[in-house]
Amino acid sequence: MIDVHLPTDDGRTVILPRYTQPEADHRMLLHGLNLELPAQPKPRITAAGKLAD
C-alpha cells in the first residue's frame, strides 16, 4: 500500500491511500481461492499536518 500526498492551493494536503493492482498470476490465484481485494480507501484531507474533520 502507498500513500499519495497531493498539496492543495489552500495549504491542505489530500492523502490517497492506494493498494497496488495484482499481476496476472496473482489475480489467477485470488480467483482460484475465491478471494477479492478490498476496495480502495477513501481519501483523507489534512491541514497543517493534522487530519481535518
Per residue in 1-53, pLDDT (tens digit) is: 788 898 888 888 898 888 778 889 999 999 999 999 888 888 888 876 565 55
- The whole-number pLDDT of residue 34 equals 95
Distance of alpha carbon 13 from alpha carbon 11, whole angstroms: 7
pTM beyond 0.75: no
The conformation of residue 28, written as its DSSP 8-state character, comes to: H
- Domain extent, residue 38, equals 2-51
* Residue 51 confidence (pLDDT): 59
Burial of 21-47, coded b for 16+ CB within 10 Å and e otherwise, reads eeeeeeeeeeeeeeeeeeeeeeeeeee
Say how many domains are in the chain.
1
At 38 the pLDDT is: 82
